[in-house]
Amino acid sequence: MKHDFELKVQAWLDGELPDREARRMGELIAHDSEAAALAAELGCVRQAMFRQEAACPLGDSREFYWSKIQRQIQREAGVRPADGLPWYARWRRYMGPLAGAAALACVLLLAVVRAGSPSFDEISSTGDGMEAVTFHDQSAQMTVVWLQDKSAAAEDQPAPKIIRYEDEPGTVIELE
Protein backbone atom coordinates (compact mmCIF):
# COMPACT_ATOMS: atom_id res chain seq x y z
CA MET A 1 0.00 0.00 0.00
CA LYS A 2 1.35 3.40 -0.90
CA HIS A 3 2.10 5.78 1.95
CA ASP A 4 -0.13 8.51 0.49
CA PHE A 5 -3.02 6.07 0.49
CA GLU A 6 -2.28 5.07 4.12
CA LEU A 7 -2.41 8.73 5.11
CA LYS A 8 -5.72 9.15 3.28
CA VAL A 9 -7.15 6.18 5.18
CA GLN A 10 -6.17 7.94 8.37
CA ALA A 11 -7.57 11.28 7.22
CA TRP A 12 -10.84 9.50 6.35
CA LEU A 13 -10.91 8.03 9.85
CA ASP A 14 -10.29 11.43 11.44
CA GLY A 15 -12.98 13.13 9.36
CA GLU A 16 -10.44 15.40 7.70
CA LEU A 17 -11.48 14.66 4.10
CA PRO A 18 -14.05 16.73 2.20
CA ASP A 19 -17.46 14.99 1.98
CA ARG A 20 -17.12 13.84 -1.60
CA GLU A 21 -13.64 12.39 -1.13
CA ALA A 22 -14.66 10.80 2.15
CA ARG A 23 -17.49 8.93 0.43
CA ARG A 24 -15.12 7.69 -2.26
CA MET A 25 -12.54 6.58 0.34
CA GLY A 26 -15.24 4.80 2.33
CA GLU A 27 -16.13 2.75 -0.74
CA LEU A 28 -12.47 1.97 -1.47
CA ILE A 29 -11.82 0.82 2.11
CA ALA A 30 -14.94 -1.35 2.07
CA HIS A 31 -13.55 -3.26 -0.92
CA ASP A 32 -9.89 -3.39 0.14
CA SER A 33 -9.20 -5.78 3.05
CA GLU A 34 -5.69 -4.41 3.61
CA ALA A 35 -6.96 -0.84 3.83
CA ALA A 36 -9.82 -1.99 6.05
CA ALA A 37 -7.37 -3.73 8.43
CA LEU A 38 -5.22 -0.59 8.60
CA ALA A 39 -8.28 1.58 9.26
CA ALA A 40 -9.34 -0.82 12.02
CA GLU A 41 -5.92 -0.67 13.69
CA LEU A 42 -5.71 3.13 13.56
CA GLY A 43 -9.32 3.35 14.72
CA CYS A 44 -8.63 1.10 17.73
CA VAL A 45 -5.79 3.34 18.90
CA ARG A 46 -7.91 6.40 18.34
CA GLN A 47 -10.82 4.94 20.26
CA ALA A 48 -8.62 3.62 23.07
CA MET A 49 -7.01 7.02 23.62
CA PHE A 50 -10.19 9.04 23.46
CA ARG A 51 -10.44 10.86 26.79
CA GLN A 52 -8.11 8.35 28.40
CA GLU A 53 -5.44 10.72 29.53
CA ALA A 54 -3.94 9.38 32.73
CA ALA A 55 -4.82 11.41 35.82
CA CYS A 56 -1.71 13.15 37.00
CA PRO A 57 -2.33 14.96 40.29
CA LEU A 58 0.29 17.37 41.57
CA GLY A 59 2.29 16.35 44.60
CA ASP A 60 2.79 19.92 45.84
CA SER A 61 0.32 21.61 48.16
CA ARG A 62 -1.85 24.42 46.88
CA GLU A 63 0.12 27.03 48.83
CA PHE A 64 3.52 25.72 47.75
CA TYR A 65 2.52 25.50 44.08
CA TRP A 66 1.05 29.02 44.16
CA SER A 67 3.96 30.60 46.02
CA LYS A 68 6.33 30.24 43.06
CA ILE A 69 3.75 31.60 40.62
CA GLN A 70 3.03 34.54 42.91
CA ARG A 71 6.72 35.39 43.33
CA GLN A 72 7.28 35.29 39.58
CA ILE A 73 4.21 37.44 38.87
CA GLN A 74 5.29 40.05 41.39
CA ARG A 75 8.88 39.99 40.19
CA GLU A 76 8.14 40.24 36.47
CA ALA A 77 5.10 42.42 36.14
CA GLY A 78 4.00 43.84 39.45
CA VAL A 79 0.73 42.86 41.08
CA ARG A 80 -1.63 44.26 38.46
CA PRO A 81 -1.68 42.95 34.90
CA ALA A 82 -0.57 45.99 32.91
CA ASP A 83 -2.36 44.97 29.71
CA GLY A 84 -5.74 44.82 31.43
CA LEU A 85 -5.76 48.41 32.67
CA PRO A 86 -7.09 51.46 30.81
CA TRP A 87 -4.50 53.98 29.62
CA TYR A 88 -5.21 56.53 32.35
CA ALA A 89 -4.79 53.89 35.06
CA ARG A 90 -1.46 52.85 33.55
CA TRP A 91 -0.33 56.50 33.46
CA ARG A 92 -1.50 57.05 37.04
CA ARG A 93 0.86 54.36 38.19
CA TYR A 94 3.82 56.41 36.95
CA MET A 95 2.49 59.84 38.01
CA GLY A 96 3.51 59.53 41.70
CA PRO A 97 7.18 58.78 41.08
CA LEU A 98 7.30 61.32 38.22
CA ALA A 99 5.83 64.09 40.39
CA GLY A 100 8.30 63.29 43.18
CA ALA A 101 11.24 63.36 40.77
CA ALA A 102 10.04 66.68 39.29
CA ALA A 103 9.70 68.27 42.75
CA LEU A 104 13.19 67.10 43.73
CA ALA A 105 14.60 68.50 40.48
CA CYS A 106 12.98 71.90 41.20
CA VAL A 107 14.43 72.03 44.70
CA LEU A 108 17.91 71.13 43.43
CA LEU A 109 17.68 73.70 40.63
CA LEU A 110 16.73 76.46 43.06
CA ALA A 111 19.55 75.50 45.37
CA VAL A 112 22.08 75.61 42.52
CA VAL A 113 20.83 79.01 41.29
CA ARG A 114 21.03 80.47 44.76
CA ALA A 115 24.49 79.08 45.38
CA GLY A 116 25.69 80.61 42.11
CA SER A 117 24.88 84.18 43.05
CA PRO A 118 26.20 85.56 46.37
CA SER A 119 23.40 86.73 48.61
CA PHE A 120 25.39 89.48 50.27
CA ASP A 121 26.32 92.95 49.19
CA GLU A 122 28.43 93.96 52.13
CA ILE A 123 30.20 92.02 54.85
CA SER A 124 32.22 93.41 57.66
CA SER A 125 34.71 91.33 59.57
CA THR A 126 36.84 92.56 62.37
CA GLY A 127 39.92 90.86 63.78
CA ASP A 128 42.27 91.87 66.57
CA GLY A 129 43.30 95.39 65.74
CA MET A 130 42.18 95.00 62.14
CA GLU A 131 38.88 95.91 60.52
CA ALA A 132 37.81 94.55 57.12
CA VAL A 133 34.78 95.61 55.07
CA THR A 134 33.82 93.78 51.85
CA PHE A 135 31.56 95.13 49.13
CA HIS A 136 30.38 93.10 46.12
CA ASP A 137 28.99 94.82 43.06
CA GLN A 138 27.23 92.28 40.86
CA SER A 139 26.71 94.61 37.90
CA ALA A 140 30.41 95.40 37.76
CA GLN A 141 31.41 91.87 38.73
CA MET A 142 33.67 93.38 41.33
CA THR A 143 34.49 92.81 45.01
CA VAL A 144 36.10 95.59 47.05
CA VAL A 145 37.72 94.95 50.43
CA TRP A 146 38.65 97.77 52.85
CA LEU A 147 41.26 96.87 55.43
CA GLN A 148 41.91 99.22 58.32
CA ASP A 149 44.54 98.64 60.98
CA LYS A 150 43.13 100.06 64.22
CA SER A 151 45.94 98.92 66.51
CA ALA A 152 47.79 101.50 68.57
CA ALA A 153 50.84 101.34 66.34
CA ALA A 154 48.83 102.19 63.33
CA GLU A 155 46.81 105.02 64.78
CA ASP A 156 49.19 107.49 63.18
CA GLN A 157 48.39 106.23 59.71
CA PRO A 158 45.08 107.82 58.67
CA ALA A 159 44.40 106.14 55.29
CA PRO A 160 42.94 102.56 55.14
CA LYS A 161 44.37 99.94 52.73
CA ILE A 162 41.99 99.14 49.89
CA ILE A 163 42.19 95.93 47.86
CA ARG A 164 40.00 95.43 44.77
CA TYR A 165 39.39 92.01 43.27
CA GLU A 166 37.98 91.48 39.83
CA ASP A 167 35.65 88.43 39.76
CA GLU A 168 37.48 86.86 36.84
CA PRO A 169 39.81 84.29 38.27
CA GLY A 170 43.46 85.22 38.36
CA THR A 171 43.07 89.01 38.24
CA VAL A 172 43.85 90.79 41.46
CA ILE A 173 44.52 94.49 41.61
CA GLU A 174 45.84 96.11 44.73
CA LEU A 175 45.17 99.79 45.40
CA GLU A 176 46.42 102.09 48.11
Partner 1 sequence: MSMDPDKSALMEADLVRMARQGDLASFEELVARHRDKIYARAYSMMRNEEEALDLSQDAWVKGWQRLAQFQGDSSFITWMTRIVINLCLDQLRKHKRQRAESIEAMEEDGGVERQMPVIHPNPTAGLERVELRERIDRALAQLSHEHRTVLVLHEFEELEYKEIAKRMKCSIGTVMSRLFYARRRMASLLAGLRREGSE
Exactly one of 5, 24, 32, 42 binds partner 1 (CB under 8 A); that residue is 42
- Does 151 help bind partner 1 (rule: CB under 8 A)? no
Q: What are phi and psi of 84, to 5 degrees?
A: -85, -5
Exactly one of 23, 46, 92, 150 binds partner 1 (CB under 8 A); that residue is 46
Exactly one of 21, 27, 70, 124 binds partner 1 (CB under 8 A); that residue is 70
Write the binding mask 17 to 36 for partner 1: x where contact by CB under 8 A, - elsewhere: -----------------x--
Exactly one of 30, 37, 103, 109 binds partner 1 (CB under 8 A); that residue is 37
Alpha-carbon torsion (136, 137, 143, 145), positive or negative: negative
Q: How far is the CB of 74 from partner 1 (least distance, A)?
A: 9
Those residues with Cβ within 8 angstroms of residue 100's Cβ, 6 or more apart along the chain or in another chain = none
- Does 10 help bind partner 1 (rule: CB under 8 A)? yes
Those residues with Cβ within 8 angstroms of residue 133's Cβ, 6 or more apart along the chain or in another chain = 122, 123, 124, 125, 145, 146, 148
Exactly one of 57, 96, 158, 170 binds partner 1 (CB under 8 A); that residue is 57
From the list 47-55, 107-115, 142-150, 153-161, the region that binds partner 1 by CB under 8 A is 47-55
Site for partner 1 in 78-117 (CB under 8 A): 79-85
56-75 exposure pattern, b = at least 16 Cβ within 10 A, e = fewer: eeeeeeeeeeeeeeeeeeee
How many CB atoms sit inside 10 A of residue 35's CB? Answer: 19
- Does 72 help bind partner 1 (rule: CB under 8 A)? yes
Q: List interacting residues with partner 1 (CB under 8 A).
A: 3, 6-7, 10-11, 14, 16, 34, 37-38, 40-42, 44-58, 60-63, 65-66, 68-70, 72-73, 76-77, 79-85
